Amino acid sequence: MVQTLAYGAWPSPIDAALAAAHDGRPDFVGFVGEEAWWTEPRPGEGGRRTLVRRAADGTERSVLPAPWNVRSRVIEYGGLPWTGVMRPEGPLVVFVDFADQRLYRYEPDTPGSEPVPLTPVSPVGGGLRWADPQLRPELGEVWCVLEEFTGDGPADVRRLVAAVPLDGSAAGHRDAVRELTDDAHRFVTGPRLSPDRRRAAWLAWDHPRMPWDGTELIVADVTGDGALHGARTVAGGPEESIAQADWAGDGSLLFSSDRTGWWNLYRVGPDGGEKALCPREEEFGGPLWQVGQSWFAPLDSGLVAVVHGRGSTSLGILDPETGEVVDAAGPWTEFAPALAAHGTRVVAVGASPRSAYEVVELDARTGRARVIGAPHDDPVDPAYYPEPQIRTFTGPAGREIHAHVYPPHNPGHVAPGEELPPYVVWAHGGPTSRAPLVLDLEIAYFTSRGIGVAEVDYGGSTGYGREYRNRLREQWGVVDVEDCAAVALALAEEGTADRGRLAIRGGSAGGWTTAASLAATDVYACGTILYPILDLASWGSGETHDFESRYLETLVGPLAEVPGRYAERSPAEHADRITAPFLLLQGLDDVICPPAQCERFLARMEGEGRRVAHAYIAFEGEGHGFRRADTMVRVLESELSLYAQVFGLNPPGVPTLELLK
């Protein structure tokens, strides 16, 4: 029997613990010999990431027990943290451990083997960090990105391509690390070697550009003794973003460039001739938030596996000669920038609105795709999953706004006929990112209780071309706020949402948009702000990490030239404008959006005698983005309690969040 209950009061089998247990996705896929390997989250084990291997017989097991945590902190967002090679005696793996950021060598099939450190610990600043490793066993080395702090400040850092001995001789001696490049560029990716091992290619960029603004593709000759010589820029520039580069089997160089306004694939042949492989108004690349992300993988046959799409992504096989792309058949509607190829086998990470991210293998010969790892297993009846709607709304000046709308949905309950549901607008982070259309049990946690969710790909989001991405240039805190408000109000005007029960929430850059929306509009009755940016001037003048330290020059404008703009848009400067209740959530180990941002914001609000209902919860051991299951449980339950109190809901079995006034 279907029961009639008010929105927000529907009982749901999707509790916070269930949602937390399924948070995160497999990532950084690769091959070790014939075996597929990847990293996988473990929320219930302190939020660590483990390394998983799938043996030839199909068995799957974790390579490293707790507390090993395979995760790099290069540019704080990290990157590819492992590499491996198969030998007759078994695999040799090199990985980064999160706790000390050292590189380790490990032989998992050798009895009694333990990880052996390859790099030293530096007492200076953030230490020595490593990412995007590539094994060179013939030289007895692993080549990778080295991030080296030279002082205590976040900007006291250099990055370069380095070679680390596999024999452990550098474990206590920094001088044993060979520097393959100088630090002429502020940021670099790891080198990719041509099939004959005679050339290397990597990406580089400099402040104030972010990698989606402009990067350079650099090629160098590799000498017999493993040195790089004659480095030269072969593509890219200040206004051309190259997201990835790699070598095809015939020695031609492939790269993804947005020179036409879309990240498309190009090939530079051995003769130097360049060709666009599949010119389309869709993306074959994306924002390089982590060093070593991959949107394409060359196959031995000359074909290229690609992750591509517009707004969402598919896994396909591209024929460079004809420009034809044949997509893999299957239920997946979204693929992460994690791709690897071996022979005719392609491994990727895919998901859909009915399934969470899982490791998918595509046979390029037959076109057959199957799940080989982290298989989705419905933890509850799928009837409780939300049914998303892909929508396009109209914003100010008639501009298009892309969004995913998840109406309340519960197979056992409906609301009284005249009642309109509450809705929460979700603003994604980045802000140069987007909301993937995949099953997210955090969304289902709300929709199955009778609260709608609308994920907004506001202007500045990726997946829709450079012009859409550039809408946010010097307009952060304006376009994102306007677009989220336009979607919320449109849902109310069309009778989908209750105008008096609208909320907004977001983390990181989405936390900024949430706070800025509460300060600049009266659209929302409350908001949930997670690990946010709140004070632009401080964040843009040394209070964040090096990677994003100049990001605001494109998002807002140069601080020295437009200081008034920084003050006008910062929620911390306008605490008096916020009248709606809010929940503020912060990790105490966050170096990207540090706790000081939240503390100053609350102090200014209290100093002005503001009596706005709010709660502030800070979590020890959490950084930028929450990874521990117990943290995520408290976050979800606190968020639901906020909406219950503000919207007048009655969700069963949810602890009451104490709101201070």
End residue of a domain, out of 167, 183, 199 = 183
Q: Within a domain: residue 411?
A: yes
| Euclidean distance between CA atoms 87 and 164, whole angstroms | 20
Q: Within a domain: residue 4?
A: no
Q: pLDDT, tens digit, for every residue of 14-62?
A: 999 999 999 999 999 999 999 999 999 999 999 999 999 999 889 999 9
Question: How confident is residue 657, by pLDDT bands cut at 50, 70 and 90?
Answer: very high
The pLDDT score that the predictor gives to residue 429 is: 97
* Res 609 pLDDT > 80: no
The pLDDT score that the predictor gives to residue 71 is: 98
* Res 608 pLDDT > 90: no
Measured over the CA atoms of residue 176, residue 181, residue 184 and residue 186, the dihedral's sign is negative
Could you tell me which of 561, 494, 506 has the C-alpha nearest to residue 530?
506
The pLDDT score that the predictor gives to residue 151 is: 95
End residue of a domain, out of 183, 207, 241 = 183
Mean pLDDT, to the nearest integer, of 336-348? Answer: 98
Q: pLDDT, tens digit, for every residue of 129-152?
A: 999 999 999 999 999 999 999 999
State the CATH number of the domain containing residue 436: 3.40.50.1820
The pLDDT score that the predictor gives to residue 271 is: 82
- Per the prediction, the chain carries an average pLDDT of 96
Q: pLDDT, tens digit, for every residue of 162-217?
A: 999 999 999 999 999 999 999 999 999 999 999 999 999 999 999 999 999 999 99
Q: Within a domain: residue 341?
A: no
| Euclidean distance between CA atoms 65 and 42, whole angstroms | 11
Q: Provide the residue range defining the domain that includes 629.
A: 380-647
Query: Which of the 8 DSSP states describes residue 121?
Result: P
Q: Within a domain: residue 394?
A: yes
Would you call 529 helix, strand, or coil by DSSP?
strand
Q: pLDDT, tens digit, for every residue of 217-232?
A: 999 999 999 999 999 9
Q: Give bridge partners of residue 295 from the DSSP assignment.
A: none
End residue of a domain, out of 148, 183, 218 = 183
Specify the number of domains making up the chain: 2
Could you tell me which of 321, 331, 338, 392 has the C-alpha nearest to residue 356?
331
Rounded to the nearest 5 degrees, what angle is found at the Cα of 575, between the Cα atoms of 597 and 567? 70
The pLDDT score that the predictor gives to residue 483 is: 98
Question: How confident is residue 270, by pLDDT bands cut at 50, 70 and 90?
Answer: confident
Q: Within a domain: residue 220?
A: no
Q: Within a domain: residue 593?
A: yes
The pLDDT score that the predictor gives to residue 272 is: 83
* Res 606 pLDDT > 80: yes
**Is pLDDT larger for residue 270 or for residue 551?**
551
| Euclidean distance between CA atoms 313 and 307, whole angstroms | 6
* Res 1 pLDDT > 90: no
| Euclidean distance between CA atoms 307 and 304, whole angstroms | 10
Q: Within a domain: residue 438?
A: yes
Q: How many CA atoms lie within 13 A of 224 on its CB side?
A: 0
Q: Give bridge partners of residue 220 from the DSSP assignment.
A: 200
The pLDDT score that the predictor gives to residue 101 is: 97
Give me the sheet containing 502-507, strands edge to edge. 389-394, 400-406, 452-457, 423-427, 502-507, 526-530, 582-587, 614-619
| Euclidean distance between CA atoms 579 and 575, whole angstroms | 9
| Euclidean distance between CA atoms 82 and 574, whole angstroms | 45
The pLDDT score that the predictor gives to residue 605 is: 86
β-bridge pairing 116-117 and 103-106:
antiparallel
* Res 283 pLDDT > 80: yes
Would you call 619 helix, strand, or coil by DSSP?
strand
* Res 369 pLDDT > 80: yes
pTM here is 0.96
| Euclidean distance between CA atoms 372 and 359, whole angstroms | 6
Could you tell me which of 485, 557, 558, 561 has the C-alpha nearest to residue 519?
485
Q: pLDDT, tens digit, for every residue of 289-327?
A: 999 999 999 999 999 999 999 999 999 999 999 999 999
Furthest-apart CA atoms within the chain: distance in Å: 77
Q: Within a domain: residue 348?
A: no
